[in-house]
Amino acid sequence: MMKKQILIYLSLLLCVSPLQARGTYQEPAAFLNETFKTELPQAKVIWLTGETGKTVEKILQHKPSQLRIRYWLKEQRSAWILEEVGKDELITVGIVINNNKIERVKVLIFRESRGDEIRHDFFTQQFKQATIQADSQLDRSIDGISGATMSVRALTKLSRMALFLSSQIKQP
C-alpha cells in the first residue's frame, strides 16, 4: 500500500512540476517605474524597416513579429520590453541600456514549461556591461544552462536586439 501511495505522489509531482516554471515575475509597468524612479518618460517607437529591420531579422534569425518596437528614453538610458519565443512560448524581458552597454536584464514573464533558471541573477548578471560588436554579436560569451538552451538563446537574442536598436535611436 505504501509503495502505491509513493508512486501516485511521484506521478502527481511529475505532472505538476513543469507548470512551476511559468510565472509573472514583474509586471512590465513595475519594471519601467523601477528603472525610471522619478518620472517615466513618454514611450517612443522605432520602426523595423529598411536596414534596421534586416539587422533585427538577422539577430532573431526570423522575421520580427511586429513592425515597431516601443522604448523609453531618458538621457543616455533606454528601456526595452521585448518578447521572443524560447522553445514554444513567449518570454517577456525588460532590458536597460545605458551608454550603449547593458545595465540590466530582467525576465518579466516566463511562459515556457521549463528553463526559467534564466530569470535568476546568477544568469542575468552575465549580460551586465555587455556591448554589441559590428557583426551584431555580444562582446562576450554567455554561459548556457543545461535544460534551458532555448531560453538562453532567446534572452541572448533579445539582449543583442536591444543593444542594436538602442544604437539606432536619435539621442536628445
User: What is the pLDDT confidence band of residue 44, given thresholds at 50, 70 and 90?
Assistant: very high
Residue 70, φ and ψ in degrees, nearest 5: -85, 145
**Residue 79 within any structural domain of the chain:** yes
Q: Say whether pLDDT at 171 is over 70.
A: no
User: What is the pLDDT confidence band of residue 13, given thresholds at 50, 70 and 90?
Assistant: very low
- Please give the Cα distance from 108 to 93 (Å, whole number): 5
**Residue 2 within any structural domain of the chain:** no
**Residue 83 within any structural domain of the chain:** yes
**Residue 26 within any structural domain of the chain:** yes
User: What is the pLDDT confidence band of residue 142, given thresholds at 50, 70 and 90?
Assistant: very high
Helix (H, G, I), strand (E, B) or coil at 16: helix
Summarize pLDDT for 70-86 with one digit per residue, the tens.
Answer: 999 999 999 999 999 99
Q: Say whether pLDDT at 20 is over 80.
A: no
**Residue 14 within any structural domain of the chain:** no
User: What is the pLDDT confidence band of residue 3, given thresholds at 50, 70 and 90?
Assistant: low
Q: Say whether pLDDT at 8 is over 70.
A: no
- Please give the Cα distance from 139 to 164 (Å, whole number): 12
Q: Say whether pLDDT at 9 is over 50.
A: no
Q: Say whether pLDDT at 2 is over 90.
A: no
- The region of weakest confidence among 5-14, 44-53, 106-115 is 5-14
Confidence at residue 22, expressed as pLDDT on a 0 to 100 scale: 83
Name the nearest CA neighbour of 103 among 138, 71, 72, 128. Answer: 128
Beta bridge partners of 83: 92
Q: What is the mean pLDDT of residues 54-80?
A: 96
Q: Which domain holds residue 137?
A: 22-168
What is the average pLDDT value for the chain, to the nearest integer?
Answer: 90
**Residue 56 within any structural domain of the chain:** yes
- Please give the Cα distance from 146 to 72 (Å, whole number): 34
Summarize pLDDT for 27-42 with one digit per residue, the tens.
Answer: 999 999 999 998 999 9
Q: Say whether pLDDT at 18 is over 90.
A: no
Q: What is the mean pLDDT of residues 132-149?
A: 95
**Residue 27 within any structural domain of the chain:** yes
Cα-based angle 91, 98, 105 (whole degrees, multiple of 5):
25
148, 113 Cβ separation under 8 angstroms? no
**Residue 50 within any structural domain of the chain:** yes
The number of domains in the chain is 1
